[in-house]
Structure 1
Amino acid sequence: NTDVTDQRSAEEQSRYLMGELNHRTKNLLAVVQAIARNTARSTMPEAFLDTFAARLGGLAASNDLLVAQDWSSVHLEDLVMGQLRTIGADEDVRVVVGGAPFLVCPQHAQVIGMALHELATNSLKHGALAHPEGRLRIVWTGASSANWKLEWDESLPSALVPPERKGFGHVVMVDMVERALDGVVKLEFRSSGVLWSLNVRGPGVGR
């Protein structure tokens, strides 16, 4: 019976979609819990709510992109601009964003988005985006080759003061990205501004 077959097919598809939703929800909640726990450890109590809310906003921006694409790959430029938008810098004339069209898979998009959020927040507070004459370049190269690179390069009119300690932001920008993408991250607090770069070998980041 065609009607029965169609009904069973619809039920199976519904169960599959519910299972996928449940899986993604659990993963997302695990990420949120980790952000909450580590934010609490690395910030003063009075600053916790604002810092935690900002990090959730960055995570939400990446997830909005993924949902819009049915949890398939997203364009790196959209990911970058989404994080800049969370701090109101997506139309800032001091910011240059560029690179060849490049797709990032969902798992990597979340992690890269979190790192970009930390970089953007730090820049707004202490770096190039905190100064009228500051400049920021976000560029990526080699999208069609085995060697792929993303670079966040800030220029300051005055000397940058390096942070006194490594907090959760450093863990996200360096350790988490390296583990998730099997890449190499360099983070330099130069006197002229922050330089963060991610080098990935192999096609795994894009799909």
Structure 2
Amino acid sequence: MRRGEGHAVTQDARRGRRVTVVLAALVLLTGAALVALTVSRSGGPARDGPEAGFARDMSAHHAQAVRMSFIVRDRTDDRDVRLLAYDIISTQSAQIGMMTAWLDEWGLPKTDPAGPMRWMSGHGGHPGASAAMPGMATRERLTDLEKASGRAAEVLYLRLMAAHHRGGVAMAEAVLARTDHDRVRRLARTMVEGQRSEITLMNEMLRRRGGPAA
């Protein structure tokens, strides 16, 4: 072997070792990232825990409030009722997005195959049980709202939504008693304060329309 050829072989060997070291480092970094992701998810809320149950069930609860608000928006020209409906649509749609993002972050399913409300004591709070969410309007009442118009639609909406909000407050208070998760607690407190305030507003609106408080 000539002198120049030996030098070239040495350089190739060094480059090969560098490539091997780089590949090994990439493998280690990828493994560390996967371990960190697994640890992060395993250290998050449990699949059947109150945080996940609250995020799933409150998202479904909010979805009905948004639906009722869209219905009344098209059934009345009253400015105050339409403004309230718009506020509920905007606020609760944003909160649904937040809770859905939590479930994605935690690597948890959006629905519980075993049924809703298992996390909330007194509402199907043992394994395998399920129960209706508090405050939810029945299908018949939703149909009534879709058929109503004007003052009748306003009064029915306000009564249904006040009951719906009371159910939402009960769910938010239930998760506050069951979790130390900072983000879940902050959102639940926001819901309690906001929905209690809107219940007061809706009762005032009902009185102005000659109906009893809900």
Normalised by the shorter chain, which TM-score bucket? Answer: 0.3 to 0.5
Higher relative contact order (CA 8 A, sep 6+): 2
Length-normalised TM-score, structure 2: 0.34
Length-normalised TM-score, structure 1: 0.34
